[in-house]
Amino acid sequence: MLTYNAHYQYELKSLIQSEVDRLKDTMIIAHTTFDFPAYKHHVGVIEGLKKALALMEEAESIVNGADTRG
């Protein structure tokens, strides 16, 4: 049985990954209508969401007792 926090974390990761996939699909489908600023914006949003996923994993490691000192 998942705790509330574990379930929340799983669902949040899933939602973030779904949004990344949706944005990638949008870029692929609409690549001919995107201008460069729109492309840069979408890439930036995707990178921000990927960074959020990485920070979630780092936070999970810290909570589980991992040493984060380089």
Quick check: is 3 in a domain? no
Long-range residue pairs from 56-61, CB within 8 A, at least 24 positions apart, any chain: 56/9, 56/12, 56/13, 60/9
Quick check: is 55 in a domain? yes
Q: Is the pLDDT assigned to residue 67 strictly greater than 80?
A: no
Predicted TM-score (pTM) of the model is: 0.79
Number of domains in the chain: 1
Quick check: is 10 in a domain? no
Contact 16, 49 (CB under 8 A): yes
Quick check: is 43 in a domain? yes
Quick check: is 1 in a domain? no
- Cβ contacts of residue 16 below 8 Å, gap of 6+? 49, 52, 53
Give 33-57 pLDDT, tens digit per residue. Answer: 778 898 899 999 999 999 999 999 9
Quick check: is 4 in a domain? no
Q: Is the pLDDT assigned to residue 21 strictly greater than 90?
A: yes
